[in-house]
């Protein structure tokens, strides 16, 4: 399915756990995926499904304590990040692998000038003078289409709008031309009109720089517009993986189908609006006390005895379409 020579990131059997007062829980449980150069992989799921922890695990920024990566491997451009020491990992962060966060309002240091924050990222990884780094910072701000980049570089975050701050974050993340960019809900906190601009910007820059992109979102609409491949996560596990086309054409997991059904449809003119949105009944189970079988079974209309007893393995349904469901074959027919 993917050309391995072009592989930027390969995650195998990643396991991240949290030690809490109420017990140990597996935030990321046995998750594997790959990202190729220039490819966009979307990770989709509800709040608390482990998508953000997956992203932080790739950066090795899971707060420890209480979290810890306990298994698997994360191979970026051929080197295993989990085997590196902290100093080695610092050389990778912000350099070969970068991250954009959800909250542009709080993700920039309020007492540092925008330009200086980008300069810092550049000088940590490039052997350039402060003046050259300044030039690079202004160029990056121009690249993310911030008007008057020279003036903006001298301003503080509070002088910029949310959209502008997210652009500045993107400029900072891409300043060292990383091989992989992780965008954790980059548009969730923004106005709808700005969301589309920021997404378009990320995709343009990705194409221009050939960066691999891991896009974390709960918005299937965003997935359809941007990604080539999708991973659906539920309760810390990967429950489905497919190309965007295959996933939207024929989802194999009832959870994925539920997510798609809960997207509100705009009624055609003249047609009465649907009164109530479709929702998936119930809530995500407590990760501390997961059932032995499929974690989604208690909320699943198709659940059978086996679902509650045994966890379904990821099965290949052809063309790299993986799904972890005992009744995957019936999902398409039922709904």
Partner 1 sequence: MFAYLVRRLFLMLVTLFGISVVIFFLLRIVPGNIVDILFAAAGYVDPADKANLEKELGIDQPLVVQYLHWIGGFLRGDFGYSYVSEKPALQEILPRIPITARLAGLALLFSASIGIPLGVISAVKQGTRLDYTLRVVSLSGLSLPSFWLGLLILTASVAMFGQIPIFNPNPATWLEAFATYAVPAAAVGFRSAALTMRITRSSMLEVLRQDYIRTARAKGASDAAVNYRHALKNAILPVITVIGIEAAFLIGGLIVTETVFNIPGVARFLVEAIRWRDYPIVQNLVMLIAVVVVSANFIVDMLYAVFDPRIRYTD
**Residue from 6, 75, 107, 228 binding partner 1 (CB under 8 A):** 107
**Residue from 13, 20, 79, 109 binding partner 1 (CB under 8 A):** 109
**Residue from 4, 111, 266, 268 binding partner 1 (CB under 8 A):** 111
Residue 314 · residue 301 · CB < 8 Å: no
**Residue from 21, 78, 85, 110 binding partner 1 (CB under 8 A):** 110
Q: How many CB atoms lie within 10 A of CB 115?
A: 24
Tokens (6 digits) for 87: 């100093």
Q: How many CB atoms lie within 10 A of CB 127?
A: 6
Question: Does residue 99 touch partner 1 according to CB under 8 A?
Answer: yes
**Residue from 77, 120, 308, 330 binding partner 1 (CB under 8 A):** 120
190 Cβ contact list (under 8 Å, min separation 6): 104, 162, 163, 166, 198
238 Cβ contact list (under 8 Å, min separation 6): 30, 31, 32, 33, 231, 232, 314, 322, 324
Question: Does residue 265 touch partner 1 according to CB under 8 A?
Answer: no
Question: Does residue 98 touch partner 1 according to CB under 8 A?
Answer: yes
What residues numbered 162-201 form the site for partner 1, per CB under 8 A?
A: 169, 172-173
Question: Does residue 295 touch partner 1 according to CB under 8 A?
Answer: no
Which x/- pattern over 1-40 shows residues binding partner 1 (rule: CB under 8 A)?
----------------------------------------
Residue 240 · residue 251 · CB < 8 Å: yes
Q: Which contacts of 119-126 are long-range, i.e. CB under 8 A and separated by 24 or more positions?
A: 121/94, 121/172, 121/173, 121/175, 121/176, 122/175, 122/176, 124/90, 124/94, 124/95, 125/91, 125/94, 125/95, 125/176, 126/176
Strands across the sheet containing 322-323: 97-100, 180-184, 212-217, 40-44, 229-234, 237-243, 322-323, 315-316
User: Closest distance between partner 1 and the C-beta of residue 208, in Å?
Assistant: 21
3-state secondary structure of 75: strand
Of the two residues 121 and 307, which places its CB atom closer to partner 1 in the complex? 121
Of the two residues 32 and 107, which places its CB atom closer to partner 1 in the complex? 107
76-84, 116-124, 142-150, 322-330 -> range binding partner 1 (CB under 8 A): 116-124
Question: Does residue 153 touch partner 1 according to CB under 8 A?
Answer: no
88-96, 202-210, 260-268, 291-299 -> range binding partner 1 (CB under 8 A): 88-96
**Residue from 26, 125, 167, 321 binding partner 1 (CB under 8 A):** 125
What residues numbered 43-82 form the site for partner 1, per CB under 8 A?
A: 59, 61
Residue 108 · residue 189 · CB < 8 Å: no
Q: Note the residues at the interface with partner 1 (CB under 8 A).
A: 59, 61, 90-95, 98-99, 101, 103, 106-112, 120-121, 124-125, 156, 158, 169, 172-173
């Amino acid at each position: 399915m993917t050309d391995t020579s072009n592989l930027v990131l390969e995650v195998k059997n990643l396991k991240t756990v949290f030690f809490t007062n109420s017990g140990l829980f597996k935030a990321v449980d046995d998750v594997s995926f790959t990202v190729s150069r220039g490819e966009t992989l979307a990770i989709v799921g509800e709040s608390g499904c482990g998508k953000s922890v997956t992203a932080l695990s790739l950066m090795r920024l899971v707060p420890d304590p209480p979290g810890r990566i306990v298994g698997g491997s994360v191979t970026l451009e051929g080197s295993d990040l989990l085997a590196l020491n902290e100093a080695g990992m610092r050389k990778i962060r912000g350099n070969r692998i970068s991250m954009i966060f959800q909250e542009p309002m709080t993700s920039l240091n309020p007492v540092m000038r925008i330009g200086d924050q980008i300069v810092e990222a550049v000088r940590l990884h490039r052997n350039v003078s402060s003046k050259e780094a300044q030039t690079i910072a202004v160029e990056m701000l121009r690249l993310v289409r911030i008007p008057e980049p020279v003036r903006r570089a001298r301003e503080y975050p509070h002088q910029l709008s949310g959209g502008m701050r997210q652009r500045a974050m993107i400029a900072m993340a891409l300043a060292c031309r990383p091989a992989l960019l992780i965008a954790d809900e980059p548009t969730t906190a923004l106005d709808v009109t700005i969301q589309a601009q920021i997404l378009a910007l990320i995709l343009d820059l990705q194409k221009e720089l050939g960066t691999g992109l891991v896009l974390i979102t709960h918005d299937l609409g965003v997935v359809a517009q941007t990604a080539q491949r999708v991973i659906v996560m539920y309760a810390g596990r990967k429950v489905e993986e497919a190309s965007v086309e295959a996933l939207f054409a024929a989802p194999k997991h009832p959870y994925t189908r539920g997510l798609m059904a809960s997207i509100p449809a705009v009624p055609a003119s003249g047609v009465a609006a649907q009164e109530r949105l479709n929702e998936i009944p119930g809530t995500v189970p407590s990760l501390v006390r997961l059932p032995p079988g499929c974690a989604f079974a208690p909320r699943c209309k198709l659940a059978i005895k086996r679902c509650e007893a045994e966890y379904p393995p990821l099965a290949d349904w052809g063309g790299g379409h993986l799904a972890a469901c005992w009744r995957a074959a019936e999902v398409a027919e039922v709904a």
